[in-house]
Amino acid sequence: MVASSRPVDGHRYIGFLLLPGFSQLAFASALEPLRMANYLAGEHLYTWHLVSRTGVPAAASNGLTTAVDQSLEPMPALDLLLVCAGVEVQEHCDHATLAWLRRLAAYRVPLGALCTGGFVLARAGLLDGYRCTLHWEHISSLHEARRFPKVTFANELFVIDRDRYTCSGGIAPLDMLLHLIGREQGLTLAEAIAEEFIHERIRGVSDRQRNPLRLQLGHSHPKLEEVATLMEANLQEPLALDELAHYAVLSRRQLERLFQRHVGKPPLRYYLELRLARARLLLRQTHLPITEVALACGFVSPPHFTKCYHDHFGYSPSGERKGRRERQAEVSDTGLPDAETRGGETP
């Protein structure tokens, strides 16, 4: 089959490109709604087609392997292709994969991505001029590294922009697929699938990916969440404690008491840990010099940044970078060299 011969029998053909180290949870969260749609409707509404680069079973990040239907060739006829990726997505943007995705786009096949799969579409130049999303850990890194200036990244669970369907990781693909099923087959079926999966509501595009403080507290506290949001929005130029208190319409003492009571640490300590967590992501996911990482996370003195980083994580920023290189070397030893050495293309 070739992509230009679109199905005409009423079924929807959904393809999944499984890249090495893909997220099993994200993949299952997208596949299972299709299976349940067929089951509850009592008819074959959806067919799924699994693809890997060479046609061999694809290994997920948890070590489990999934059998696939074919390699990149011959090109299947699809109504939608979803790229499934994981943490080490940068290592799997090889020339053959990017060229294959561009050919699908030339045939006007709608394209999408789960978890970090949006990075692959962006590397192929297929998200230029689109809004999209991917896992929150990678969004901040791409912004700081100034990658893909023609792409608009949003911190939403999923984004549907014309013929591009992207969503973050975890169980967010479940919500995106339920949205698609509801649009194509009716909301009643989508809600029935959500009920079967004990999914209390179908989240929409307005839902954000994360609220770390609410998860830590186990409940909602509007003032604390407001301050935490301010902190996350001002990591490069941290706000003073008095400024945070002013914006939240609290006294400095009230703010300190709230954090100590509900978070178990002073607000400035929580703020510092947010900045260090962002620095760790940038060190792991970008090639920015350590000095630039320090500045991007609000540390004007590199020695102070190094000391804070070592005190919190137990090793220095340069040690973090060394660990990253060692992990990449392990990936290369499996016979999958990085994109730069095997002809990967950068838009």
Please report, for residues 22, 29, 141, 208, 264, the alpha-carbon distance to residue 169 in angstroms, rounded to integers and kept in the order given.
10, 9, 16, 12, 29
Concatenated DSSP letters of 90-107: GGG--HHHHHHHHHHHHT
List of residues 6+ apart from 40 with CB closer than 8 A: 189, 192, 193, 196
The more confidently predicted of residues 344 and 18 is 18
Query: Average pLDDT of 108-122?
Result: 93
pLDDT above 90 as % of the chain: 54
pLDDT digits (tens, 9 = 90+) for 160-188: 999 999 998 888 999 999 999 999 999 89
More confident of the two residues 195 and 154: 195
User: What's the token pair of residue 49?
Assistant: 């087609």
- Confidence label for 209 from pLDDT (cuts 50, 70 and 90): low
Task: Give the pLDDT mean for 41-62.
Answer: 94
pLDDT per residue as tens digits for the range 117-148: 998 999 999 999 999 988 766 666 555 446 78
Overall pTM > 0.75: no
**Residue 167: in which H helix or E strand, if any?**
strand 164-167
pLDDT interval class at 235 (50, 70, 90): confident
pLDDT of residue 339: 34
The enclosing H or E element of 111 equals strand 111-114
Tokens of residue 322, six digits:
């060394």
- The 10s digit of each residue's pLDDT in 72-95 is 998 888 999 999 998 778 788 899
Helices 24-41 and 172-185: crossing angle, nearest 10°? Answer: 30
Give the Cβ contact number of residue 261 at 10 Å.
10
For residues 233-238, give the mean pLDDT.
Answer: 88
Residue 316: Cβ-neighbour burial (10 angstroms; 0-12, 13-18, 19+): middle
Rounded Cα–Cα distance for residues 176 and 163 (Å): 14
Contacts of 214 by beta carbon, 8 Å cutoff, 6+ apart: 220, 221, 225
Determine the angle formed by the axes of helices 302-313 and 267-285, rounding to 10 degrees.
100
- Asked if the model's pLDDT at residue 255 lies above 60, the reply is yes
Question: Read out DSSP for 128-141?
Answer: TT-EE---HHHHHH
Considering only CA atoms, give the Rg of the chain. 22
Q: Which residues contact 127 (CB under 8 A, 6 or more apart)?
A: 118, 121, 148, 150, 151, 164, 166
Of 344 and 15, the one with more pLDDT: 15
- Residues pairing with 47 in the sheet: 13
User: Rounded CA gap, 140 and 124, in Å?
Assistant: 20
Confidence check: pLDDT of 57 > 80? yes
Q: Which tokens go with 336?
A: 């999958």
pLDDT confidence bin for 340, thresholds 50/70/90: very low
Average pLDDT, the chain: 84
Tokens of 216: 């830590």
What is the token pair recorded at 345?
Answer: 């293309």
